[in-house]
Chain A
Amino acid sequence: MAKSSTARRFDEPLAVVAEKRPAFGEGGPPTPPVSSNIPIGSNAWLAVLIFIGAEAMFFAGLIGAYIVFRVSSPIWPPPFQPRLPIAATGVNTLILIASAVTMRRALKAVVAGDRKQLVRLLGATAILGGMFLAVQGFEWIRLIDFGLTVSSSVYGGLFYTLIGFHGLHVLGALIWLLIVFSLAKQGRFSKERHVGLQTCNMYWTFVVGLWPLLYGLVYLL
């Protein structure tokens, strides 16, 4: 090795502690040990939060398009179009809101460490979500029979686009929920570790919270 190398050679005697000199500066107390910062939320939580923000912007675009057609039409709903099932969908709205309540209680159950209650509540949430989709599907079939289709009019196109995308999101949330339900049955969630359930709850709350806005905008106004 080069003569000017600073690496310690094997034949060099070990330096006595008292003879050690600081490499630079005056020396001093040792630097504090490196410690981690515990983040305020998991990476998955942050990722789902930002994903929900992106989904919210997606629906904002669709709602913006709906507003243009709705406000520019002097008569709404347009004449000779089937009327939407306000009452049935109103009940369906209550079913979906109930599913958000059970989902929230499921999260509290996992924090309390009650696995049986968690599984029961997740199951109830899935059933309520499935009921919502089933009723929506049934109503859609009736509307198609009455002549309201995507291509029948702008009204039909807007309705199926806006409500259809929400339905797709509910379906995606339901599939996610069924996976979480299966994991909960296996006992994979605990009081300290339930990020999967927490993020599923966030997304479920988003799709449920979005529905009253869409219901009011499309069905009632």
Chain B
Amino acid sequence: MKPKILFILIAVLGLLAYFPAAASACAVCWAGDGGPADNAFNWSVLFLMAAPYTVVGSIAAGLFLAYRRSAANPAKTKSVEPLVHLTLNPEDGGR
């Protein structure tokens, strides 16, 4: 087997070993008494987990829409007059 595939397989198996169900690592899930506080934390965690994806996705969508708008209006995005020529004499191709 290729070393890269083997490494990925070992990494995935290693991650599986750290699941809370196997390691009882989550203090809220495994130390709580199953009351309303656990439910409250669950909902709060779900909300806070979704928040960064929502925010970053919205920013990305805003950038994409701005790009689409500028692409639809090529007159505004056409290159302006060149800032500088890379050679003093544009016809000069060498030294």
Contact = CB atoms under 8 A, between A and B. Distances in A.
Interface stretch (A53-61, A114-122, A131-139, A182-190): A53-61
B71 to A, nearest CB: 8
Given A33-B83, A35-B80, A68 B58 contact: no
B24 interface: no
Interface string B72-89: 000011111111111100
Contacts of A221: none
A33 B90 contact: yes
B94 A23 contact: yes
Contacts, number: 111
Interface residues of B, number: 42
A32 B93 CA distance: 11
A22 B92 CA distance: 9
Interface in B41-65: 41, 43-45, 47-48, 51-52, 54-56, 58-59, 62-63
15 contacts: A23-B95, A27-B93, A30-B87, A30-B93, A33-B83, A34-B84, A35-B83, A56-B54, A56-B58, A64-B47, A64-B48, A68-B44, A69-B40, A71-B39, A72-B40
